[in-house]
Structure 1
Amino acid sequence: MKIALIHFRTGQTDGVSLEMDKWRFVLEKMGHQVRYISGSPEADIYLPELNYKNPQNEKFVRNAYQHLSDYQNETAFKTEIMTAVEKLNQHLKEVIKKAKFDLLIPNNIFSLGWNIPAALALAKVIREFELPVICHHHDFYWERELYSEPSCNFIAEILADYFPPSLTNSEEVVINSLAQAELKKRKGLKSTVVPNVFNFQQQPWQIDSYNYDLRSKLGIKADDIIILHATRIAERKAIELAIETAAKLARQLTNFELYDGRIFGPENEVVFLLPGLPEAEAAYLEFLKQMAADYNLKLIFANQLFAQQRQQSAGQKIYSFWDSYVIADLITYTSIKEGWGNQLLEALFAQKPLLIFEYPVFRADLSSYGLKLASLGSDYQKRKNGYIKLPADQFKGAIQEAIKYLKDTNYRSEVVAHNFAVGACYFSYQRLENLLEKLLTKFDLVT
């Protein structure tokens, strides 16, 4: 069967792109032919109108959700959007008809509200061609503040009618039980929960002839402690909690032998590493830098050195995102909001200990699996600038647990082995294959 996975971008390190790669791998393993349609130039089928940073769409977003300022009135705004819809509709019809797809799997096209022409155009194609579709919803517009106040009635109606749309041959997929309940409540639609997964059967990530020099490339000494925060850099990731935790942890570390025999001495330091894609406002990035400076914590932004795969760029060695896990001593994951938790699963596979903030989906869908983690709890406060903080005593238990991870070899080994086993059992590619087979059976599309 020929399947199209559709999104704004592909081949990047955001959660949706990563999850699409996993679906593609599993679907191809099941015997299907899979192609990407996206706004990324490297996609199998490249449509610039879908690009996440398409200038025209950014103009639409600004006028739809912030202020209707670039158009004389709502009618003029609607006219330009509908013109874009017709143009993209024609392009989609051409590529879908030429490729003879049997099934479409749009990712966030019908849920986030980011690209209104894409949603309207794709819905029109699906209805015209009567194609079966699995609508994969990673994030919904009602979960994001950006979409909370549409600028005009036209946009409000579009959000109500097309996110997601009513399609005759469609299955809705969400990534957690909270989204499942909210979709049913708001739109009356039933859905299947397909959690994020990871390939726990691949070769383990290790120091090798390619990444052996990564510490030195980053200016980090062999005996320094690396705390890795592997998410994208965005406000909802609450990276300030991880920085504060790392700083408080550093203050409690004196001369001692690490879990792997290295000696953490007076000349060594705790390094906070951020390899993820910066997507936050400039003010947030400056806040993080200043916070680290105030705590005298070494902070390294290193996105320029990492990509989804190892490669050479302008004569410079670019490391795989996974290489950052290899050199890490501890992983922090302090988001206050996540759809599931890709970096959590990655840490389980990498067999690195985790320090987390218990975001709502973790508590609802992940806490019951018995993972062994250092926890900052689930309650937070906001600073005057809107960023996140915790009461001082809320750090203590997590920091003491993290110190055990860094000092106690046997304890650390037991924790990471247990977490790996949980991940391999419940969040593997095999589980994804089983869930996808059930979905395809509903269409009578199993090969």
Structure 2
Amino acid sequence: MNIALCHFRVGETDGVSLEMEKWKIQLEKQGHRVIYIGGNPYEDTEVIEELYYKNEVNDKIVYNAYTAIFDYDETGLKEQVDQMAQNIERKLVEIIQRKNIDVIVPNNIWSLGWGLPAAVGIYNAVQKTGIRAIVHNHDFYWEREKYKNPTTDYVKELLDFYFPPKGENIKNVVINSIAREELKSRKGVEAAIVPNVFDFSSKLWEVDEYNKDFRRVIGVKEEDILILQATRITERKAIELALDTIGKLKEEENMRVLREGKLYHGRSFTGDIVFVMAGLVECEERYLNLLKKKAEKFNVRLKLVNNIIDSYRYHKDGVKIYSLWDAYVHADFITYPSILEGFGNQFLEGLFAKKPMLVYKYPVYVKDLDSIEFNIVSLGESYKLDEDGLVIVEEDIISRAAREIITYLKDRQYRELRVEENFNKGKRHFSYEALGEILKSLF
């Protein structure tokens, strides 16, 4: 079959683009011919500029649709959406006919609410050409505060009809069972589940000539314990829970235990515990300041290193840029305390990296991952907010987590057995090969 994977952007490092690339790899392995359709140039992508997520006209539509009617009245807004939708429809029909497309896979376009003209235009093109659509819904508009209060009845009608639309030639896919239940409840639409996956058959990350100086470059000594937060820095990642746990680790009795004898790698712990945050800072300044304040309270050395981290290795203006994988290689322990995730890409990365992890059991973890019985240090599945709006869990949970982390840091056999089990479970359930089997049933 000729299949078109469609998104607002292609080839970037956002989660949707990355998952789309995985689909392309597996579908091509099965003999399908796959192309990208998106708003930006990337390799041989068929570009429709109106789809781009930073398109200025769409930005204006989004503001007027969800924040305040400012640039148009309701009729003017409708006319602008219709005009842009017609352009998208015309260009997409031409691509479908020229490339003989059998199936289009819109990613988030019929679920998020960001591209109203894109949703209308792509729907009309699908209806006009009669091709099939397999709708890959990563995030829904009702999950985001931004889209909860449409400014006009017209926008509400668009959300009701197109997000997602119904039709005999339209099949829906979601990434977790909570989303499937919510879609069924809100829209009466059935969906298959296709979880996020990772390439568990690729070469394992290890220390090499390129990354061997990573610790030195970021100011972490070999005799230090490096605890890594690999995610972006946003409020819902609840990074404060990681700091609470590290603060507990740094208490005198726990430090004494850590310094006795050797750690799992055979070296003595004579340095400090350093908390390294590798992701982009995408939070309010207030939140970052609260994290810094908490680190100071617990006397935790905090390192923000995203300025030398990217999705791949390169040199820029004489500065060596490391991949995120290089940070994983040098980590002694991973923290993943998110209270909300659509699935959990960084969790899969931690499994592949064969690193032990501190995990808060966010709702999707409880529903879709807990039954697999991964070996994690758990922060439970219930939290409160303190007076600063930071996430907190019971003190005894933090204390128990700290004790378990010490075991992972001290007992090599205990550690290796459990991370190896995690890797094998991840490979069984969330590998590219597992994705391939699911896609065979869809296409």
Equivalent residue runs for 1:85-164 within 5 Å: 85-164=85-164
Query: What is the aligned counterpart of 2:392 among 369, 389, 394?
Result: 389
Please say if residues 3 and 105 of structure 1, whose CA atoms lie closer than 8 Å, have aligned partners that are also in contact.
yes
- C-alpha displacement of 1:152: 1.6
Match for residue 284 of structure 2? 281
Please say if residues 199 and 431 of structure 2, whose CA atoms lie closer than 8 Å, have aligned partners that are also in contact.
yes
Matched position secondary structure for 1:83: helix
17-26 or 199-208, which moves further after superposition? Answer: 17-26
TM-score, structure 2 as length reference:
0.93
Equivalent residue runs for 1:319-334 within 5 Å: 319-334=322-337
CA RMSD of aligned residues (A): 2.0
Could you say if the C-alpha distance between residues 253 and 290 of structure 1 is closer, same or farther in structure 2, counting changes exceeding 3 Å? same
Matched position secondary structure for 1:300: strand
Please say if residues 245 and 402 of structure 2, whose CA atoms lie closer than 8 Å, have aligned partners that are also in contact.
yes
Could you say if the C-alpha distance between residues 125 and 280 of structure 1 is closer, same or farther in structure 2, counting changes exceeding 3 Å? farther
Matched position secondary structure for 1:395: helix
Distance 1:291 1:54 in 2: 39
Equivalent residue runs for 1:327-406 within 5 Å: 327-406=330-409
Query: What is the aligned counterpart of 1:263 among 265, 268, 276?
Result: 268
> In the TM superposition, what whole-angstrom CA distance separates every residue of 1:142-165 from its partner, at most 9, and x where no partner exists?
112222221221111111111101
Match for residue 438 of structure 2? 435
Please say if residues 62 and 114 of structure 2, whose CA atoms lie closer than 8 Å, have aligned partners that are also in contact.
yes
Distance 2:46 2:303 in 1: 36
Distance 2:46 2:222 in 1: 44
Match for residue 413 of structure 2? 410
Matched position secondary structure for 2:250: helix
**Aligned: 1:235 with 2:238:** no
**Aligned: 1:298 with 2:275:** no
Distance 2:9 2:281 in 1: 16
Amino acid at match of 2:46: I
Equivalent residue runs for 1:209-228 within 5 Å: 209-228=209-228
Match for residue 56 of structure 2? 55
Distance 1:167 1:285 in 2: 46
Please say if residues 250 and 298 of structure 2, whose CA atoms lie closer than 8 Å, have aligned partners that are also in contact.
no
Could you say if the C-alpha distance between residues 295 and 120 of structure 1 is closer, same or farther in structure 2, counting changes exceeding 3 Å? farther
Distance 1:282 1:81 in 2: 35
Distance 1:145 1:369 in 2: 32
Please say if residues 12 and 307 of structure 1, whose CA atoms lie closer than 8 Å, have aligned partners that are also in contact.
no
> In the TM superposition, what whole-angstrom CA distance separates every residue of 1:20-53 from its partner, at most 9, and x where no partner exists?
2221221122122222222344352334433333
Amino acid at match of 1:3: I
Could you say if the C-alpha distance between residues 49 and 399 of structure 1 is closer, same or farther in structure 2, counting changes exceeding 3 Å? farther
Equivalent residue runs for 1:161-176 within 5 Å: 161-176=161-176
> In the TM superposition, what whole-angstrom CA distance separates every residue of 1:88-116 from its partner, at most 9, and x where no partner exists?
33333333433332221111111111221
Match for residue 253 of structure 1? 255
Distance 2:34 2:314 in 1: 24
Could you say if the C-alpha distance between residues 323 and 167 of structure 1 is closer, same or farther in structure 2, counting changes exceeding 3 Å? farther
Matched position secondary structure for 1:263: coil
Amino acid at match of 2:267: R
Match for residue 443 of structure 1? none
Distance 2:295 2:42 in 1: 36
Please say if residues 110 and 163 of structure 1, whose CA atoms lie closer than 8 Å, have aligned partners that are also in contact.
yes
Could you say if the C-alpha distance between residues 55 and 304 of structure 1 is closer, same or farther in structure 2, counting changes exceeding 3 Å? farther
Flag structure 1 segments of 5+ consecutive residues without an equivalent.
441-447
- C-alpha displacement of 1:385: 4.4
